[in-house]
């Protein structure tokens, strides 16, 4: 205790240079601890993401083939500049050729209004993998992607042959065979030759047939706007979503254009004052839907998603419905520019993506399709952040070295100024070991003070850095705090300070009493 009090007295006497030393250590510790903890947090989130359904998504996109000239501009024939369109009738064969794929789906992330005036529409550039969700992963998927990379403007995945199966339970409903486009039992399968009279399909609301033409009683919800998906039934299979109450819509609902809806568990609590939603009718963008099911809480975290499934509403996609004949609706399977697939757990995603791309190549020709895994997009985005953080860590390390050198110079100067005092203590019986300990204790107090300040400052600094890295996103991702890494950096700062003070401590311990007193 006497040595600690003596060391504290020396620090108070030389408070200016002591303060500079503490601030230098605090600055280096804060920056390095913030950066290292952020790197650890991102890696933790990524490791968790790899265990979730959204990490197993593979998106196949048509390659835009445009003809041009390297010289003067020339007119390009419209047919040659059309993007590649995939026929949904080919999906069953593709799934058959790729046993590692368990689901095929398409979905559009939407904003729905619940008022009598239709509004909202799809979120341009905002899908489950890109938008308002976890910022790390939101930035990874290219703009306009749905879960696992599906285009926000993409069409529906076709119904499977299970469309004729009876929906007797949530398990059967959610277990409908995924993405079996244009199967023999599907409604309208005989019209699977291509898109409708207008070529491609725009958002149903824009096409004009989403508006409810008959007057129906609706249950007015508490929310004027909700968000969700227009999706194929296999979307539930792809993301392992199950029904807590009621049932999930299936491929029959998609193929027949049934106006049914499924809501997330949290949204179900907010829609109506009595928190009862089953069999209630809700108006979504001008069309009246019957709520047939409530999802069980999502069993995974929301990394890689635009928003939690618990907060969303799901309705069958109407992308495959077109007007034919005398104003009657006919269901058929058209063409799309993008398809999403889900791989089995434990499957080699890169190999599965290559096989999918090969399957599309066999059907549509070379250079017509590109398959991308969601996890590869996430990894690219993560690498960008880690490069920035690594550079900051290098700069923080340089600041730390400067602070350590400052400690070295500070302690050397103090020992040289206290040569007479040290000689008197030695002559009164103080040992070399006690002088060594005295100097190191003083350094330890300086280093610990700086480390504690740096540790406390590292957390707001980490939040600031995260905000800068995620500034392009609508909502930042909540990263787990890595207290262990920040604490480890702080302890390391104290150890480094003590190491750099060892030469000064040895000089104090080896002071020659006679020479020191003679010089004084």
* Contact assessment for residue 248 and residue 293, using Cβ atoms and an 8 Å cutoff: yes
Residues 293 and 320 in one domain: yes
The one-character DSSP state at 302 is -
Residues 154 and 247 in one domain: yes
Domain boundary among 336, 367, 398: 367
Residues 438 and 498 in one domain: yes
* Contact assessment for residue 259 and residue 287, using Cβ atoms and an 8 Å cutoff: yes
Domain count, the chain: 2
Residues 134 and 255 in one domain: yes
Please report whether residue 230 resides in a domain: yes
- Residues in the chain where the model's pLDDT stays below 70: 1-3, 6-7, 10, 14, 64-83, 117-215, 319-336, 418, 420, 426, 429-430, 470-478, 509-520
* Contact assessment for residue 392 and residue 36, using Cβ atoms and an 8 Å cutoff: no
Tell me which residue of 439, 450, 413, 400 sits closest to 14, measured CA to CA: 413
Domain boundary among 308, 338, 367: 367
What is the residue range of 257's domain? Answer: 85-367
pTM of the model: 0.65
Q: Which residue has the tokens 């390009």?
A: 76
Degrees (nearest 5) of the Cα angle 455, 459, 462? 120
CB atoms within 10 A of CB 270: 16
* Contact assessment for residue 241 and residue 326, using Cβ atoms and an 8 Å cutoff: no
Residues 28 and 152 in one domain: no
Please report whether residue 57 resides in a domain: no
Please report whether residue 372 resides in a domain: no
Q: How are the residues of the chain apportioned to helix, strand and coil, as percentages rounded to the nearest 5?
A: 45, 15, 35
- CA distances to 108, 215, 228, 281, 339 from 182, in Å: 20, 33, 25, 30, 14
Residues 507 and 409 in one domain: yes
Can you point out the beta strands (E) in 345-393?
Answer: 369-373
Give me the pLDDT at residue 385, please.
Answer: 83
| Phi, psi for 488 (deg, rounded to 5) | -60, -40
Neighbouring-strand partners of residue 343: 101
Residues 221 and 303 in one domain: yes
The one-character DSSP state at 311 is G
Please report whether residue 62 resides in a domain: no
Tell me which residue of 338, 342, 370, 400 sits closest to 24, measured CA to CA: 400
Helix (H, G, I), strand (E, B) or coil at 373: strand
Please report whether residue 286 resides in a domain: yes
Tokens at residue 194, please? Answer: 């291509």
Domain boundary among 334, 367, 400: 367
Please report whether residue 296 resides in a domain: yes
Tell me which residue of 2, 57, 30, 3 sits closest to 374, measured CA to CA: 57
Tokens at residue 200, please? Answer: 């491609």
Give me the pLDDT at residue 514, please.
Answer: 58
Residues 137 and 219 in one domain: yes
Give me the pLDDT at residue 153, please.
Answer: 36
Tokens at residue 133, please? Answer: 């969700």
Q: How many CA atoms lie within 13 A of 258 on its CB side?
A: 21
429 class by beta-carbon count within 10 Å (0-12 exposed, 13-18 middle, 19+ buried):
exposed
Residues 264 and 347 in one domain: yes
Residues 137 and 282 in one domain: yes
Please report whether residue 61 resides in a domain: no
Give me the pLDDT at residue 332, please.
Answer: 39
Residues 351 and 431 in one domain: no
Please report whether residue 68 resides in a domain: no
Residues 511 and 484 in one domain: yes
């Amino acid at each position: 205790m006497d040595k600690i009090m003596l060391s504290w007295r020396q620090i108070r006497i030389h408070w200016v240079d002591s303060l500079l030393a503490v601030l230098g250590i605090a600055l280096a510790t804060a920056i390095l601890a913030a950066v290292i903890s952020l790197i650890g947090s991102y890696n933790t989130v990524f490791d968790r993401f790899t265990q979730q359904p959204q990490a197993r998504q593979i998106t196949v996109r048509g390659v835009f083939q445009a003809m041009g000239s390297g010289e003067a501009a020339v007119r390009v024939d419209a047919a040659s500049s059309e993007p590649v369109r995939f026929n949904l009738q080919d999906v069953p064969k593709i799934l058959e050729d790729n046993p590692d794929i368990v689901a095929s789906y398409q979905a559009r992330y939407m904003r729905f209004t619940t008022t009598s005036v239709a509004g909202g529409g799809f979120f341009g550039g905002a899908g489950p993998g890109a938008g308002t969700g976890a910022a790390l992963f939101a930035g990874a998927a290219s703009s306009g992607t749905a879960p696992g990379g599906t285009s926000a403007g993409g069409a529906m995945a076709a119904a499977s042959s299970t469309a004729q199966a009876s929906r007797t339970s949530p398990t059967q409903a959610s277990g409908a065979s995924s993405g079996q486009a244009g199967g023999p039992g599907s409604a309208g399968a005989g019209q699977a030759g291509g898109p409708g009279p207008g070529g491609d399909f725009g958002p149903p609301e824009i096409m004009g047939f989403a508006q409810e033409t008959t007057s129906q009683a609706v249950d007015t919800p508490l929310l004027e706007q909700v968000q969700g998906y227009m999706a194929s039934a296999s979307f539930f299979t792809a993301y392992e979503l199950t029904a807590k109450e009621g049932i999930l819509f299936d491929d029959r609902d998609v193929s027949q254009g049934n106006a049914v809806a499924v809501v997330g568990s949290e949204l179900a609590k907010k829609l109506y004052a009595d928190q009862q939603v089953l069999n209630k009718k809700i108006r979504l963008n001008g069309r009246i839907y019957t709520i047939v099911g409530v999802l069980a809480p999502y069993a995974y975290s929301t990394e890689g998603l635009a928003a939690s499934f618990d907060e969303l509403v799901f309705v069958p996609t109407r992308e495959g419905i077109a007007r034919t004949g005398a104003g009657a609706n006919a269901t058929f399977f058209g063409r799309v520019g993008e398809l999403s697939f889900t791989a089995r757990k434990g499957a080699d995603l890169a190999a599965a993506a290559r096989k999918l791309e090969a399957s599309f190549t066999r059907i549509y020709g070379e250079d017509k399709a590109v398959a991308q895994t969601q996890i590869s997009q996430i990894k690219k985005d993560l690498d960008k952040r880690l490069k920035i953080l690594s550079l900051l860590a290098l700069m923080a390390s340089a600041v730390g070295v400067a602070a350590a050198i400052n400690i070295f110079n500070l302690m050397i100067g103090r020992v040289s100024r206290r040569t007479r005092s040290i000689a008197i203590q030695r002559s009164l019986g103080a040992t070399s070991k006690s002088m060594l300990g005295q100097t190191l204790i003083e350094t330890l107090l300086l280093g610990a003070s700086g480390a504690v300040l740096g540790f406390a400052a590292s957390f707001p600094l980490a939040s600031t850095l995260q905000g800068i890295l995620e500034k392009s996103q609508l909502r930042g991702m909540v990263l787990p705090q890595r207290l262990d890494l920040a604490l480890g950096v702080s302890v390391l700062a104290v150890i480094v300070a003590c190491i750099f003070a060892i030469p000064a401590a040895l000089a104090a311990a080896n002071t020659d009493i006679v020479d020191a007193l003679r010089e004084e």
